[in-house]
Amino acid sequence: MIKIDHLSKSFGNLEVLKDITVEIKAGEVISIIGPSGTGKSTFLRCINLLDRPSGGSIRIDGVDILDPKADVPKVRQKMNMVFQSFNLFSHLSVMDNLTLGPIKLLGMSKEDAGSKAVDLLKLVGLAEKAESYPDELSGGQKQRVAIARCMAMDPKIILFDEPTSALDPTMVSEVLSVIRRLAKAGMTMAIVTHEMDFARDVSNRVLYMDDGIIYEEGTPEQIFVHPQKEKTKTFINRVRSFTYHIASPDYDLYAMNAEIETFCDKQILAVKQRYNLLLIVEEMLQIYNPFLSKALLDINLAYSEKKESLEVVFESTGEAMNVLDKNLLSDELGLTLIQSVTESIDYQRLNNKNRVTLILKKQ
Amino acid sequence: MPIQTSKETTALIVTITGKMDALTAPEYEKKFSELIAEGEISFIVDFEQVDYISSAGLRVLLATAKRVKAVNGKLLLANITGVVKDVFEISGFCTLFPTHDSVASALSASLG
């Protein structure tokens, strides 16, 4: 139904989509997941030509919509979009929001468009709101009207761009249940979402996007239960991480500690865990100190909500060397403290770098 | 550097607040050196307000204890609790230093 080949999109020097190739078949429900800022929304906007792709091709039922001769308004009728911020016409009633497109663009009679609108409002559970104005509706109701408005144009596919992100948590489920109902009815949909349980439950296929590409794709089972690639695993395990770069012995320990404390606040870590994390970083830095004038050091903190584990990785340039080798230490005080608060300490030489991975003891 | 001192007959009580880490340790070490140079030989360090100590802080205590010992003085520690106490225990510093549950108890000990 939609065949996308080597799609790319840049804004100035910023390459948001690098090389996207994917096919969406009729009746499929595709969830697009991934970290913020990885091009998910831009991808949807390119399919709908709200953003003009920089390269590649998009074919809908064999027609190249990037051909200058393509009838863009006609293309958009085939695939409607539901936005994060609803985008209803605030000066029109719910009924007029739903009938405007069908009357103006599809040439339907007012009666037919009205009757269809009533059916669609029933489908989304808002028949009694036909004469209300958007400002009189809750966020969840507005989004349900927006979905009904999409359906009014008989689209072949609906593109959802984070449909629940702007909603109060209490209203998320009402919108998701409407989308579930459409999925059951066989509607073709591509949904950018951060609602992982929903994505897992409703989709036939999941695209994990990262850094402007489809990094991994598969069934919900493949992506959520058995992800194969590192970044997907990290994302699915809800790992939140923070990296600090040290390029000289005169690094700002105050600033770094403040950032670590902010990281701890965000993860809501217990006092003891926070203390141990600061202790590990400080002791490791003391041990690294003699080498910092000639090596670059990256410290990565990663907290996995799912495993409730806190991992600290120290990666340094320079010749192969385990800084925690007892023969290299002037005394073992720092190492003793590190060992006492860690569950495991692992050294590896990877990609010409020394990597020490420490996993903190659970509290 | 949040450090306060108060003079008692048998010792100088040094109250430390906040962190004894790589950032603050050099300042503490300097302060203890100055106090010893001024003639103080017996110290009671009150840890009640200390919420973090690393090896850098422990090393300051060790260096100060050596200096104090050289002049036949004493370094007693009081009110070490919680996560700070854990660090003392892990590092074995609990056995290196006489620790007391309160400043009053340390003061009594300093008489001996």
What domains sit in chain B, N to C, each tagged with a CATH number? 3-110 (3.30.750.24)
Q: Which residues of A touch B83 (CB under 8 A)?
A: 271-272, 275
In the numeric block, which tokens belong to residue A43? 């991808």
Are residues A345 and A312 in contact, defined by beta-carbon separation less than 8 angstroms? Answer: no
In the numeric block, which tokens belong to residue A321? 């060397």
- Alpha carbons within 13 angstroms on the beta-carbon side of residue B110 total 26
- CB of A336 less than 8 A from some CB of B: yes
Cross-chain Cβ contact A333/B87 below 8 Å: no
**Separation between Cα atoms, residue A209 and residue A229, nearest integer Å:** 12
Produce one character per residue of A210-230: b if its CB has 16 or more CB atoms within 10 Å, e if not.
bebbbbbbbebeebbeebeee
In the numeric block, which tokens belong to residue B95? 């056995």
CA B108 to chain A, closest CA, distance in angstroms equals: 31
Tell how strand B3-7 and strand B74-78 pair up. unpaired
ipTM of the complex: 0.92
Cross-chain Cβ contact B22/A253 below 8 Å: yes
Are residues B3 and B28 in contact, defined by beta-carbon separation less than 8 angstroms? Answer: yes
Select the residue of A278, A286, A340 nearest B90 (Cβ to Cβ). A340
Q: Across chain A, where does the E strand assignment appear?
A: 2-11, 14-24, 29-33, 55-60, 63-64, 79-82, 157-161, 188-192, 205-210, 213-218, 239-246, 297-304, 309-316, 342-350, 353-360
Tell how strand A239-246 and strand A297-304 pair up. antiparallel
**Separation between Cα atoms, residue B96 and residue A238, nearest integer Å:** 44
pTM for the whole structure: 0.58
Are residues A235 and A208 in contact, defined by beta-carbon separation less than 8 angstroms? Answer: yes
Cross-chain Cβ contact A275/B56 below 8 Å: no
Cross-chain Cβ contact A286/B22 below 8 Å: yes
- CB of B52 less than 8 A from some CB of A: yes
- CB of B59 less than 8 A from some CB of A: yes
pLDDT tens, per residue, chain A with 363 residues: 899 999 999 999 899 999 999 999 999 999 999 988 889 999 999 998 889 999 999 998 888 888 888 887 777 778 889 998 889 999 999 999 999 999 998 999 999 999 999 999 998 999 999 999 999 999 999 999 999 999 999 999 999 999 988 887 778 888 988 898 899 889 999 999 988 878 888 899 999 999 899 999 999 989 988 889 988 988 887 667 788 899 888 888 888 888 888 888 777 788 888 899 999 999 999 999 999 999 999 999 888 766 778 899 999 999 999 999 999 888 899 999 999 999 999 999 988 999 999 999 987
